[in-house]
């Protein structure tokens, strides 16, 4: 079995999800003539006491080999070339190197075969790799096809926290590449990309071998992987290209296309994605936390027919004391390149929160931006730049942005065109919900009229010229408490202290997210401690707040504001607990419980985890609960 047929058999093994079962299946292949154990057959040292490079090379010199690394620790000092039809497996095997300026594993090419013909059918399965020097790349595949890298761990453990200059993976001018269930873990930052997806355009971009024929990388899937710096890193000193996945050399004559990145996790990375060129691709269902940029902005960027959908990106706005260079720190941003502008992209269903710069910032043509939730960003939440043409921006919820720069707004529509785009405008911005919206006319040359309509806002700023940017039919939300309830707190003679008392409540007739404010005002005669809480009818305590003063004034007492999901016909109770210590004949006071509905689609976000405090929304009438008794411990209704 020495051809592609053998690879197909091994391909069935790699699909076994349980790694122990997969290892047992692999051991059964020991009867194959080309099964190679690097320790028993080639003399590799799996205790890391001696260099195993030459022994391991013996295994990789065998044609059509299944190469098995028993568990242990292996040291190598120079690059190992991998032939076609090679399967490498090493459950609990660690391969590391202290040699600079090297690639651990590189496909075996003499540099004359271009396209995708240099090598094919190569698999790395369940290995662990560790880089110990700044100029090291773990695996580099160029002019290849049918490459699998699965269940592997890649570590950068460089001393003195020096940043890594090269890559974990280089995929150059390759197709049919599958990277799955891998961990990419770096103690320090990267000067460039952890995974580089690029093209062999010149020696400077790929020095290992040619030919430099601009073959594009295509049909690449990266799924169920985890990328992280385990601790928060210094974002002020990082290279602007510290990136989990991206490219730098691809261009319109050597594009990157048909890439799928799905269900990956990113933590403490500067840029999640940074592509100078990406076409016909899908980035979906990824989750990022404490990252500086999501889909990062590049000024001369060409993104074509790419979908960025259903991702959750959380930034690190709180790490910046000063204003940031707004070219960085964006949630999702697409730039354009002159003569090859970005176009036909889809950005929908994403949750973008807490970025230091803009939430979503778009250039280009024919882009659809819809059903995103954008909150708590330092600058505008949604910014349609002047280099936009025939874009559709609709049904987004954009709230509580412009935290760093109050001159920005939740939504900014900048209308016009620069030299990079032959014509601008003709955009439609509609059905969005925001606190503030602003229209700007930068340049009327080579522009067609854009329309801003049917948006819900609290404040609006119109452009100076309506001929090119027409803002009409937008709905000003004037605000309403939705429900106001008032009841007395009984005096000390009729109400025992040390118990919870229900003093306000309401029921909403539909399920929604709400801002709920609860205030208990206690008179000046009261001396003691007062605590309030909000409780749902499902026996769920939503929040507590204790008065900071032991003797509140007439306007004093505990107060709280929270965001919570309120279910239809579920009672929300405002309750008081006090310990009375004296101070007069009574503790008479009032309570207020108000609720404002948030314009957040229930299917898209759990607002209870967001710090969103808008001043406007669509209001539905709430029903008070009548005849609330406050002189006994409250009893929860049973469902």
d(CA 47, CA 27): 21
Total-model pTM:
0.74
d(CA 564, CA 511): 11
Residue 237 predicted with pLDDT over 70: no
Higher pLDDT: 382 or 639? It is 382
Give the Å distances, CA to CA, from 119 to 83, 126, 145, 250, 402. 7, 21, 7, 21, 51
Cβ(483)–Cβ(512) under 8 Å?
no
What confidence tier does 274 reach under pLDDT thresholds 50, 70, 90?
very high
**Range scoring the smallest mean pLDDT among 78-82, 317-321, 456-460, 488-492:** 488-492
Would you state the structure tokens that stand for residue 607, as one six-digit string?
């607002």
Cβ(152)–Cβ(194) under 8 Å?
no
d(CA 145, CA 149): 12
> How high is the mean pLDDT of the chain?
79
Would you state the structure tokens that stand for residue 263, as one six-digit string?
């269900």
Residue 112 predicted with pLDDT over 70: yes
pLDDT for 120 = 92
User: Which residues lie below 8 Å from residue 497, measured CB to CB, with a gap of 6+?
Assistant: 528, 578, 579, 580
pLDDT for 604 = 39
pLDDT for 76 = 96
What confidence tier does 474 reach under pLDDT thresholds 50, 70, 90?
confident
Task: Give Cα 603 to chain centroid, integer Å.
Answer: 18
Residue 527: count other Cβ atoms within 10 Å of its Cβ: 16
- Closest by CA to 466, choosing from 453, 456, 457, is 453
Residue 171 burial (10 A CB sphere; 0-12, 13-18, 19+): buried
Residue 495 predicted with pLDDT over 70: no
What backbone torsions phi and psi does residue 497 show, to the nearest 5 degrees?
-85, 170
Number of H helices, E strands in the chain: 3, 57
Would you state the structure tokens that stand for residue 72, as one six-digit string?
């242990």
What confidence tier does 635 reach under pLDDT thresholds 50, 70, 90?
very low
d(CA 443, CA 420): 13
Rg, Å, the chain Cα set: 30
Would you state the structure tokens that stand for residue 427, as one six-digit string?
């955009």
pLDDT for 44 = 95
Q: Residue 4: enclosing H or E segment and its boundaries?
A: helix 4-14
pLDDT for 75 = 97
d(CA 473, CA 99): 66
What confidence tier does 487 reach under pLDDT thresholds 50, 70, 90?
very low
pLDDT digits (tens, 9 = 90+) for 517-529: 787 776 656 666 7
Residue 131 predicted with pLDDT over 60: yes
Give the Å distances, CA to CA, from 443 to 311, 392, 618. 34, 20, 35
Residue bearing tokens 């004359």: 112
């Amino acid at each position: 079995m020495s051809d592609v047929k053998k690879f197909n058999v091994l391909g069935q093994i790699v699909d076994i999800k349980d790694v122990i079962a997969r290892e047992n299946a692999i051991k059964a292949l020991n009867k194959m003539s080309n099964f190679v154990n690097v320790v028993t057959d080639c003399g590799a040292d799996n205790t890391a006491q001696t260099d195993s490079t030459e022994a391991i090379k013996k295994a990789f010199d065998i044609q059509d080999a299944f190469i098995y690394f028993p568990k242990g620790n292996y040291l190598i000092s120079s690059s190992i070339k991998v032939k076609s039809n090679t399967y490498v497996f090493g459950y609990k095997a660690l391969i590391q190197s202290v040699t600079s300026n090297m690639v651990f594993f590189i496909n075996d090419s003499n540099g004359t075969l271009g396209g995708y013909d240099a090598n094919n059918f190569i698999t790395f399965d369940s290995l662990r790799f560790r880089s110990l020097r700044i100029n090291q790349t773990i695996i580099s595949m160029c002019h290849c096809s049918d490459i699998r890298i699965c269940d592997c761990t890649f570590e950068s453990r460089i001393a003195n926290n020096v940043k890594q200059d090269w890559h974990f993976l280089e995929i150059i001018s390759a197709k049919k590449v599958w990277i799955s269930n891998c961990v990419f873990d770096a103690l320090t930052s990267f000067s460039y990309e952890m995974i580089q997806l690029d093209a062999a355009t010149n020696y400077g971009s790929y020095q290992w071998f040619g030919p430099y024929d601009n073959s594009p990388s295509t049909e690449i899937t990266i799924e169920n992987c985890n990328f992280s710096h385990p601790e928060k890193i210094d974002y002020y000193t990082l290279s602007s290209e510290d990136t989990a996945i991206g490219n730098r050399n691809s261009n319109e004559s050597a594009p990157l296309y048909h890439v799928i990145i799905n269900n990956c996790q990113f933590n403490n990375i500067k840029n999640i994605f940074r592509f100078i060129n990406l076409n016909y691709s899908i980035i979906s269902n990824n989750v990022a936390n404490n990252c500086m940029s999501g889909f990062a902005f590049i000024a001369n960027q060409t993104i074509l027919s790419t979908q960025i959908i259903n991702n959750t990106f959380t930034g690190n706005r709180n790490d910046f004391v000063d204003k940031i260079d707004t070219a960085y720190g964006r949630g999702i941003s697409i730039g354009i390149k002159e003569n090859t502008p970005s176009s036909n992209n889809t950005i929908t269903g994403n949750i973008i929160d807490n970025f230091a710069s803009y939430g979503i910032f778009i250039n280009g043509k024919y882009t659809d931006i819809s059903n995103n939730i954008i909150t708590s960003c330092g600058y505008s939440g949604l910014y349609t730049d002047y280099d936009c043409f025939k874009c559709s921006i609709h049904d987004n919820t954009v709230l509580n942005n412009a935290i760093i720069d109050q001159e920005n707004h939740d939504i900014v529509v900048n209308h016009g065109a620069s030299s990079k785009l032959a014509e601008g405008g003709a955009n439609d911005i509609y059905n969005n919900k925001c606190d503030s919206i602003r229209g700007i006319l930068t340049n009327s040359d080579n522009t067609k009229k854009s329309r801003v309509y049917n948006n819900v806002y609290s404040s609006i700023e119109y452009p100076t010229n309506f001929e090119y940017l027409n803002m009409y039919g937008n709905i000003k939300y004037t605000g309403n408490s939705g429900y106001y309830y008032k009841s007395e707190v009984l005096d000390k003679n009729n109400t025992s202290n040390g118990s919870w008392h229900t003093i306000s409540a309401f029921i909403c007739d539909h399920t929604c997210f709400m801002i709920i404010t609860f205030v208990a005002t206690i008179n000046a005669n009261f001396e003691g401690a007062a605590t309030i809480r909000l409780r749902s009818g499902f026996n769920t305590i939503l929040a507590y707040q204790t008065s900071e003063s032991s003797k509140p004034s007439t306007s004093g007492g505990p107060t709280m504001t929270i965001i919570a999901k309120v279910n239809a016909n579920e009672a929300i109770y405002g309750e008081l607990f006090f310990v009375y210590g004296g101070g007069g004949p009574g503790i008479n006071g009032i309570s207020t419980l108000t609720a404002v509905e948030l314009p957040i689609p229930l299917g898209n976000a759990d607002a209870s985890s967001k710090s969103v405090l808008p001043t406007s929304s669509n209001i539905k009438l709430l029903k008070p609960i009548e005849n609330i008794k406050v002189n006994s411990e409250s009893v929860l209704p049973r469902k």
